Amino acid sequence: MELRHLRYFIAVAELRGVRAASEQLHVTQPAISRQIQDLEEAIGAALFERTPRGLTLTPAGEAYLTQAREILARVDAANRLARRIASGMQGSLRIGFVENAVWSGIVSRALRAFEQAAPDVALELTPMNTPEQFDALAAGRLDGGFCYRFGAIPEGVGSVHVLDQNVVLAVPEAWPHGCAGAVAARELVGMPFIAFARRVYPAYYDRLLSACAERGLTLDIRQEASTETAILSLVSAGMGAAIVNAANRDRPPARVRFVELQDLSVPLPLEFCFVAEHHNPALERFVEQLQ
């Protein structure tokens, strides 16, 4: 039995005759009659009563018509669903992000635009630092993520460049440092600092300390934290200064001032990284939109 048997049967039943069904379906009458006979033989019951006035449904045919319509409706719904998933308009998408990356206009606009363009795609957004995102991509727990990349991208990961950030000095509001404008790195010698623990992102930690050393500054790290939110909360409490992502200016904490660094630069390239050999049409649509 094939779907065409059901379609021919429904047409004959609704139009009350083979001739009318033939004209609607653009199939010859003998072909339709043969398909109806094959269907009845496969079922083992007569679906139509043949009379001089034409065909009328038997009780078995009436019941079969209801079920046949439901079957074709489900098949049509399955076809539509498959097309929507294949086009990236339905499905799921797991995206990681470094928290301060989402505060920038580009990232928040990209997420909002995708949600509006594909509202039936379930977006699962998870805050993670960059190394955690790379681990999750490798393990198949994420489809993609907004990362600050240092060094080579892990094997099997593709990327789209989003924007470039840099670092800025964060100091307690009551401190006098930087009140006259930007500060040089050497002016910060001896100042207590709060920083990431090296294990959080070794590549960034080493790059930051190397850039400071090149400008004659060895950071006197008094406290360590695992997120910039925690670092800035300690700055707000007056525990020390911190060199942080300039994206934090989009969400300034209370009792914290941001000061430009005259001669210290640590470029922070924000990229959307994703599994290169993926089979997720929703991810493909998101990447194309981001590009």
Tokens of 228: 């910039």
What's the CATH code of the domain at 152? Answer: 3.40.190.10
Which residue spans within the chain are E strands per DSSP? 48-51, 54-57, 90-97, 120-127, 144-148, 157-165, 167-172, 192-196, 220-225, 242-245, 256-259, 268-275
Residue 177 in contact with residue 108, Cβ under 8 Å?
no
81 and 94 together in one domain: no
What's the CATH code of the domain at 80? Answer: 1.10.10.10
173 and 258 together in one domain: yes
- Mean pLDDT for 230-244 is 95
User: Count of domains in the chain?
Assistant: 3
176 and 226 together in one domain: yes
Residue found by looking up tokens 């009780």 in the block: 59
181 and 247 together in one domain: yes
- Mean pLDDT for 221-250 is 93
pLDDT digits (tens, 9 = 90+) for 105-163: 888 899 999 899 888 899 999 999 999 999 999 999 999 999 998 878 888 899 999 99
- Beta-bridge mates of residue 273: 145, 159
Q: What is the domain extent for residue 41?
A: 3-86
Q: Return d(Cα 244, Cα 247) in angstroms, integer.
A: 8
280 and 232 together in one domain: no
- Mean pLDDT for 4-20 is 84
74 and 19 together in one domain: yes
Residue 221 has pLDDT above 80, yes or no: yes
12 and 151 together in one domain: no
Torsion of CA 237, 240, 241, 247, to 10 degrees: -40
pLDDT digits (tens, 9 = 90+) for 31-77: 888 988 888 888 888 888 887 777 888 889 889 889 988 888 888 87
